[in-house]
Structure formats: C-alpha cells, structure tokens
Chains A and B, each alone.
Chain A
Amino acid sequence: MALTRREKKERRINILSNIYAFLVYAVLYIPVAVMIAFSFNNQRYNYYWNGFTTQWYGKLFSNSALINSLWYSIIIAILSTIISVIIGTIGALGLKKYEFKGKKVINNMLYIPIIVPEIVLAVALLIIFMKVGLSLGMGSILIGHCTFCIPYAVVTIKGRISGDNDTLEEASMDLGANRIQTFLRVTLPTIFPGVMSAAFLSFTLSFDDVVMSNMLAGARQSTLPVLILSMNKSGITPDVNALTTIMVLVIVTAMILNNIIQRSLKKKKGKI
C-alpha cells in the first residue's frame, strides 16, 4: 500500500517518539532491574557478581534487624495512612464546603509540606519536639509522616469532590438524613475512589520516607529506609535486595489485581 508523503512523515515521527519513550523508560527501569539482579548474587556484600543464588530469599527472614525494621515501617505506614486519610477526608470536605476566615491561608499552608524540602520540615519538627520535651520514637515519626501525608490526602481528595457533591448532600438531607447519616451514606461513598488513592499515596510516602524517619527516630528502632541508609557505608547486603524485590512484586501484583477488578466492574456496567 502506498503511503502519502504526509503519512510517511507521521509514521517516522511516531517511530522516533516511541524509541525516545522507550529510552526514558529504560533509564528509569535500569536501577530496578539491577536491584533485582543483585538479589540473586552469590556474594556477601554485592561488591561484584559472583554467580546466581536464591539463598538470600530464605536468609533474609533470619536477619532480625531487617525484619524488625520492616514491621516497624509497615506499622508506621498503616497508622499514618489511617490518621492522614481520616483527617484528610474530613478536611478536604470542610475546606471545599465551608467558607471561613483564614481558609485561604490554610489552603496555601497545605502546599508547604508538599513543596518545601523535607529536611527543613524535619528539623523544624525536631527542635519543636525537643523544646516541648516529646521523646523521639514512633510517635514523633508518625507526626512527621502525617504532616506531609495529610496535605497530599487533602489535595487528592479535594480533586475528586465534584460540584455535584453539595447537591447530593442537600438531596440526602432533604430526604430526612441528618449530617452524620448523610456523610456515611452519601458523601463517603461518592468520594471513595479519591479516599482510596489518598490512602495508597499516604502509605507509599510514609513507607518510603527516609528524611523524617531519620531525623525524628528514637535510638531504639529505625524504619527500613533508615536502616538501608545506615547500611550504605558498609555495603548493602543482597538480602535487602531480596526483600525489596519481594516488595516490588507485591506492589505490582496489587496494581494488576486492582486494574482487573476496576475493568471487570466497568464491563459489568457496560453490559446493562
């Protein structure tokens, strides 16, 4: 089939842009691939490649420092997610719905933790905690994580509250539901996708956080990222690679499952 000059040109541009996109992805995925590859390295410190082994996937569970920090990170991430999503959901609705003095200030203030370098907020919290005598530990880390998770949650959920929301709430109250019934039966279900993204985001941010966890941690227990940072000087051992490889698998599987569920829900709708 003969192509016109224009079609040829378009096709060429298309091929070039696909190559470009592929290269960018390659650069982003190289570190992930290398990280996974070295989880199979048969060598104690990953200084060089010494043949294939799967031993680290078994041995990592006996590395108690690693496993303890993993649980610590998971617990902190879950708690930060719960706190941030509750405050964030209620806050997003309140900020969208009501007018009050200082609302604009609060709205702008939300962007500070998102934009300002995390180290600044971390040391600011540190000196305040020192000043009021709060001992460092899980509590201080939680406050730190929530301080950046809440703004992300508010922004995410606020973006999902549509203009219809007010009318739906009015309709609910018109039909006899009080404010709490309305919130539980109408508002929450309609913004639920936003709440879920906020939860996912909060969990990831908290779980991967280094700076807050490092500055605000007590002496006893550190989170997984902080442990990795401290291991860096002596060399990160392959069992850590194995652990993070498992984590990648879990996340990707969860995403694919989520995708399948979403799609089947949509299909079901389409049939009717």
Chain B
Amino acid sequence: MNNPIITLEGVEKRFGNNLVVKNMNLEIAEGEFLTMLGPSGCGKTTTLRMIAGFEEASAGIIKVEGERVENKEPFERNVNTVFQNYALFPHMTVFNNIAYGLTIKKVPKAEINERVTEMLKMVQMEPYAKRKPDELSGGQKQRVAIARALVNRPKVLLLDEPLGALDLKLRKQMQIELKRLQKKLGITFIYVTHDQEEALTMSDRIAIMHDGILEQLGSPTEIYEHPKTKFVAGFIGESNIFDGKVTAVDGNLLTVETEAGSLQVCGEGFAVGEEMHVSIRPEYLEASTSPVAGFSLDGKIKDFIYQGSVVKTTIDLVNGQEVKYSRFEQDQTVSEGQKVYVYWKPEKAVAIKKNEQGAV
C-alpha cells in the first residue's frame, strides 16, 4: 500500500499475563472505511485505543501518516475518537462540547463560532446548540459526539461501537448517515463493532479479529464469500461447517470424508489426506429425497422455523450434527421426520485450511 495513513507493525497488548492483542499487522489507506469486527473480548477495542493513545502498546510500532506515535499522548495525536457512550461533557452545552477541541487549541473565537455552527448544521443539530447532553436523545447525543470529533478535522476518525446504544431503526438510519458523511468528507474511518451486518453494510474493508488475532482482512464480499478460517466462516452470517479429511483431488474438485459422510467442495492447494473444514451457507444447501452423486450425507428433517423473510429447515445428520437450509417459502417436498440426502453445488461451498490464522 502506498503511504498508508495508519500502520500497525507487530503491535501487541498485554494486560498482566493476558495477551489481548497478538502480533497485529495492518495498513489502512487514506479515505478508507475500515471496520474491526469480532466478538467481545477479541481485542478490537484495545487496538483502537492503542491507535488513539489511551493504551500503550506493549510491543510493536504504530504510525500515523508515517510518523511513529507509540509514545505520544492522546492529545498529541492527530486522530479523534467517537466513544461508545458518547462521553459528552455533561456540564457543557452542545455548542461548548463541539467547541472544546478548538478552544483548547486557542483557535480565534470567530473561527470557532463559524466551524461549530457549520458542524451543527452538518449533523442537523442547530436547534439544540444551547442544550446540555442529558436533555438529548441517544441519536442526538451521537450526532454531537461525531460533530465534536469532526470539527477538529482529524486525519483519522476512530469510532468505538458508536451505534451500540441506539435502537435498531435509529441504528440503521445512522449507519447510512455515517457512511455518507465519511464519503463526503473523505476522512479515514476506523470503526469498531461486533455487529456483522453493520460491518458488511458500511465498510470498504473488514478486519475480523478473534482472541487478539487478526483472522482475515478483506472487502465485505471477500469475507462473506470466501472466509479463510473456520472462525470467520462461522462468525459471518450463518454457515454449516464440516470437519473432514481430503480423500480425492480431481482438478479443483475435492472429495472430503467427514463424520457425517462424504461430500464435495471446490478448492485449490489441498492434498489427499489433508485435514480441512468445509463451509456451506444455508441458502446454498439442498436436500433431496433421493441420493445425489458425490455426496453421502443423509439425515432426517427435524423441524421448520419460520423467520419472516425465510423459512429454515433443520436436518439431523446421522452423526447427530445439525445442518440448516433456508428458502423463501417452506419446502413442500419434504415433511418432518422424513429421510433426506443433503448436497450442494461444490463451487458454492468453501474449502478452508485447518489452523489457518492471521491470513494477512
């Protein structure tokens, strides 16, 4: 990457004996919307806090615009943060909250006025300038928090689960607003969330973290269509995952033996005898009442679950593993307790190397 705006090289964070971020390497391009996604405790927030300067990295190098910042105080770094619970100063009005950073930098009064007003307009909070934070709704607080950070014209905006406290409808609306804002201003966003839908909707690239390790870095499509690790396959969307061993390789078509039976998948770079995982999305999984060539996964229909837009069918395989497939309407060709044969188009399934980690 040419002139990344943020570079992490071998960054680690240790709390006591606990290594919460492990050997993190990441380059973020100017103007990019990068999301760090993962379950709670995966190290995503800690990584963000190291970039902001609230936590010191135990090892490694952090660069902002090519300049090392590990030993710089938060107030010496040209990045700003939008906090999870907004962290608006309760004793200041909305206007003074937004003006805070500029006041500290001793920007002339007239300019402060102008820039804060402009920001208020941008986040549609002009009528609320004189209010205190505890007189605002969650969504309004959110806008103020964003304005307070953006008014300083940071090179990078760090957002720590900024929409986490909002209800679903407002969250969706704010997602779109944020994305538009980011495109308009061209500022780099580093966005932390545990909500995969949010990540898929907003990001240019997603960094998936798990147990302090960067599992996969890629565009939303890459992450969704081609998970590189078992964790990513299981974490993003819903997947049926099989553990097995390659028994035959024919071009890129692999035959895999699993506990539930044998199956087929397309994949490159696998050898006979190799242990691996196979992931197949419920929308691609099929069930037939008669056996299908290449597959020997039989099971019984367990139940149908109505989920509004789709109906999911659950199948118990012979080894007890449960798999699901989803259709827009209930599959009328089968009924509860009926024996079925599970299969799919081999190119729709994803072959995953065993113990693949830190794909970057």
Q: How far is the CB of A171 from chain B (nearest CB, A)?
A: 4
Interface stretch, picked from A21-29, A103-111, A162-170, is A162-170
Q: Mark B141-155, 1 if CB is under 8 A from A, else 0.
A: 000000011001000
Q: Give bound CA distance, A119 to B88, whole Å.
A: 47
Contact A171–B91 (Cβ < 8 Å): no
Contact A170–B91 (Cβ < 8 Å): no
Interface stretch, picked from B97-105, B186-194, B286-294, is B97-105
> Quick check: is B81 within 8 A (CB to CB) of the other chain?
yes
B105 contacts across to A, CB distance below 8 A:
176
Contacts A164-B87, A168-B89, A269-B132 given; indicate if A178 touches B73 (C-beta within 8 A). yes
Contact B81–A190 (Cβ < 8 Å): no
Contacts A269-B132, A272-B131, A272-B135 given; indicate if A167 touches B83 (C-beta within 8 A). yes
Q: Which of A129-174 contact B (CB under 8 A)?
A: 164, 167-168, 170-174
Contact B83–A186 (Cβ < 8 Å): no
Q: Give bound CA distance, A170 to B52, whole Å.
A: 9
Q: How far is the CB of B295 from chain A (nearest CB, A)?
A: 53
The residue in chain B whose Cβ has the minimal distance to the Cβ of A162 is B90
Contact A174–B131 (Cβ < 8 Å): no
Q: Mark B122-152, 1 if CB is under 8 A from A, else 0.
A: 0000000001101100000000000011001
B132 contacts across to A, CB distance below 8 A:
269
Q: Which of B157-174 contact A (CB under 8 A)?
A: none
The residue in chain A whose Cβ has the minimal distance to the Cβ of B79 is A174
Contact A190–B135 (Cβ < 8 Å): no
Q: Give bound CA distance, A122 to B169, whole Å.
A: 64
Q: Give bound CA distance, A158 to B104, whole Å.
A: 27
Q: Which of A180-210 contact B (CB under 8 A)?
A: 181, 185-186, 189-190, 192
Contacts A167-B87, A171-B87 given; indicate if A177 touches B131 (C-beta within 8 A). no
Contact B80–A175 (Cβ < 8 Å): yes
Q: Give bound CA distance, A132 to B53, whole Å.
A: 47
The residue in chain A whose Cβ has the minimal distance to the Cβ of B90 is A190
Q: How far is the CB of A102 from chain B (nearest CB, A)?
A: 18
Q: How far is the CB of A186 from chain B (nearest CB, A)?
A: 6
The listed residue (B84, B90, B104, B135) touching A176 by CB distance below 8 A is B104
Q: Give bound CA distance, A210 to B134, whole Å.
A: 44
Q: How far is the CB of A224 from chain B (nearest CB, A)?
A: 37
Contact B81–A171 (Cβ < 8 Å): yes
Contacts A170-B74, A190-B91, A272-B131 given; indicate if A177 touches B83 (C-beta within 8 A). no
Contacts A174-B81, A178-B73 given; indicate if A269 touches B89 (C-beta within 8 A). no
The listed residue (A177, A186, A190, A192) touching B75 by CB distance below 8 A is A177
Contact B75–A176 (Cβ < 8 Å): yes
Contact B89–A190 (Cβ < 8 Å): yes
Chain B CB within 10 A, most for which of A171, A177, A189, A272: A171
> Quick check: is B54 within 8 A (CB to CB) of the other chain?
yes
The residue in chain B whose Cβ has the minimal distance to the Cβ of A171 is B87
Q: Give bound CA distance, A186 to B88, whole Å.
A: 10
The residue in chain A whose Cβ has the minimal distance to the Cβ of B132 is A269
Contact A171–B83 (Cβ < 8 Å): yes
Contact A174–B85 (Cβ < 8 Å): no
Contact A168–B87 (Cβ < 8 Å): yes
Contacts A167-B85, A181-B104 given; indicate if A174 touches B91 (C-beta within 8 A). no
A164 contacts across to B, CB distance below 8 A:
85, 87
B85 contacts across to A, CB distance below 8 A:
164, 167
Contact B87–A175 (Cβ < 8 Å): no
Q: How far is the CB of B23 from chain A (nearest CB, A)?
A: 26
Q: How far is the CB of A165 from chain B (nearest CB, A)?
A: 10
Contact A171–B89 (Cβ < 8 Å): yes
The residue in chain A whose Cβ has the minimal distance to the Cβ of B77 is A174
A175 contacts across to B, CB distance below 8 A:
75, 80, 100-101, 104, 148-149, 152
Among all A-B residue pairs, the 3 with the closest Cβ atoms: A175-B101, A171-B87, A173-B74
Given A172-B89, A176-B75, 6 new contacts (CB under 8 A): A164-B87, A168-B90, A174-B53, A176-B105, A192-B91, A272-B135
Instruction: Give 25 A-B contacts (CB < 8 Å), ordered by A residue.
Output: A167-B84, A167-B85, A168-B89, A168-B90, A170-B81, A170-B83, A171-B81, A171-B87, A173-B73, A173-B75, A174-B54, A174-B74, A175-B149, A176-B104, A176-B152, A177-B75, A177-B100, A177-B101, A181-B104, A185-B104, A190-B89, A190-B90, A192-B91, A269-B132, A269-B135
> Which residues of A are at the interface with B, using a C-beta cutoff of 8 A?
164, 167-168, 170-178, 181, 185-186, 189-190, 192, 269, 272
